[in-house]
Chain A
Amino acid sequence: MKKDEASCAGARVEKLVELRLSKDGSRRSFLKSALAAAVTGTVASGCDHPFVKDLLQKHYKELSDEDKKELFQRIEQRTHAWSGVRVKVSDPQPLDGVHWGYALNLNHCNGNRRCVEACARENNLPNDPEIRYIRVVEADNGSQHLEHGTVNYDREQVPEPGKYYLPVQCHQCRNPPCVKACPTKATWQEPDGIVVVDYDWCIGCRYCQAACPYHARRFNWTVPSIEPDRINPDQGYLSNRIRPVGVIEKCTFCLHRVRRGRYPACFEACPTGARKFGNLADPSSEVRQIIASKRVWILKEDLGTDPRFFYFYA
């Protein structure tokens, strides 16, 4: 193979995409040529066009430190190119002897949704179409029939007398149905219990979304639109980096924060002190104290998902 031919494989692929987008040429011929170009790219290891690199990118677990460094740089450059914001992509690793747990005091939660907004800010969630990881269910006191509740309550003041508020987000189940449903192993559970998604391996089939009994997963139907001034520059590869179109995303307990000793964004935003977060492996942590001394329950216990997210009254 000629060297110049190899080096411009990436350019060829891009050209083909343009062609495809302008509706010239049939789908079949496009795929054929794209595949050919991809194969060419594989062979031509000298070709370092970002598009080819995207095409040939490995699964997160197979990435070497060198691969990661290059990949994170590529993401940073790409974000800078369209937004002008300098971000830092990293992948903090699970901590030894730490299993995350979340507890939420339903007596204190008053449905003010500060957690929802803080989460959106922290995790670069788009406003259009709106994606939010946390939904706050408003239901009648004395009832566990959440299906009669609503997440769309719009009130001047909360709490409304006679109602209680139950925020729902990813429960980071120990027995996660979403992980079992994924056909490409794009989602898995980390040793510290957080269920993560490799956005570059997600094919967007949404099986996991259907499998999740807590409705905790969100799909990017369009290219996520996020204003540059809302971009959070502290980005985790498996958590809050800006997602591409057509992939699933979810709450990760802000793993880029908690693995560095900080609290999740929703925790810090809660003005009522209803949210409690900590290490389930540490008997002196707040969550363990709660489990030991309060009446704690989990949502949809009968499904056997064994969540790490607990509700309690105190």
Chain B
Amino acid sequence: MSAGRLVLVAFVAALACEATHAPDQAAERPFAPTHEEILVEPRSHLLPTYPCTSCHDEREAQPTRRRLADYHRTRYDDLKHGDDAFWCYQCHALEDIDKLRMASGQLISFDEAWRLCTSCHGDKQRDFQRGIHGLTIGEWNGKKHRRSCTGCHDPHNPRFRSMTPEKPPAPVQSR
């Protein structure tokens, strides 16, 4: 298991401005909120099923924007992110296709995709860190798992997909 398998993100700084709960106070309230750890769910373990390097190792990267008719055609047809300004290597790293590249040039793992996303979507970052945006499960007062951005949004077409709803309520019967 890679070290980055579970990325423990200490969002505590942003979240727990109130983390300065005096310890004695916490002892008085056995269920005092802790917010000890929030785990952003990892994504990179999904990669080995189809590593990018299995093709890209043998090909020369073409960083120019063009129509993709062969490989990644569906990705190309479906690419709806940031109008037409986007291209693969704005996010994917030219140097190492199994990594993502921040604007600063720093290469990051797919587990930290949220860092890349929020470098543009700053408003969402603020909400994500506070637990307002995003899907969280776990315990309300303990360990929480937070879905990474790409756990819900396809980064190539980030609009939340429409869904099939559950059945409507049964008609009210007169009695």
- Total residue contacts A-B, CB cutoff 8 A: 115
Q: Closest CB of chain B to A108's CB: distance in Å?
A: 8
Q: Closest CB of chain B to A132's CB: distance in Å?
A: 6
Known: A158-B165, A285-B33. A258 touches B140 (CB 8 A): yes
1/0 per residue, CB under 8 A from B, across A114-131: the answer is 101100000000000110
- The reply to whether the CB of B72 lies closer than 8 angstroms to some CB of chain A is no
B133 in complex: contacting residue of A97, A155, A159, A314, CB < 8 Å: A314
Question: Given the complex, which residues of A lie within 8 Å of B170, measured CB to CB?
Answer: 129-130
Question: Given the complex, which residues of A lie within 8 Å of B54, measured CB to CB?
Answer: none
- The reply to whether the CB of A63 lies closer than 8 angstroms to some CB of chain B is no
- The reply to whether the CB of A268 lies closer than 8 angstroms to some CB of chain B is yes
- The reply to whether the CB of B70 lies closer than 8 angstroms to some CB of chain A is no
Q: Closest CB of chain A to B128's CB: distance in Å?
A: 10
Question: Given the complex, which residues of A lie within 8 Å of B175, measured CB to CB?
Answer: 221
B168 in complex: contacting residue of A154, A268, A272, CB < 8 Å: A154
Question: Given the complex, which residues of B lie within 8 Å of A263, measured CB to CB?
Answer: 137-140
Question: Given the complex, which residues of B lie within 8 Å of A112, measured CB to CB?
Answer: 163-166
B31 in complex: contacting residue of A98, A157, A273, A289, CB < 8 Å: A98
| B interface, CB within 8 angstroms of A | 15-19, 29-33, 35, 127, 130-142, 147, 152, 160, 162-171, 173, 175
**A/B interface sample: 26 pairs, CB < 8 A:** A95-B31, A97-B31, A105-B132, A110-B160, A112-B163, A112-B164, A112-B165, A114-B166, A130-B169, A151-B168, A151-B169, A152-B169, A153-B168, A157-B162, A157-B163, A158-B163, A158-B165, A159-B162, A258-B140, A263-B138, A271-B152, A272-B135, A273-B134, A273-B135, A284-B33, A293-B132
| A interface, CB within 8 angstroms of B | 95-98, 105, 108, 110-114, 116-117, 129-130, 132, 135, 151-159, 221, 258, 261-263, 268, 270-273, 276-279, 282-286, 289-290, 293-294, 314
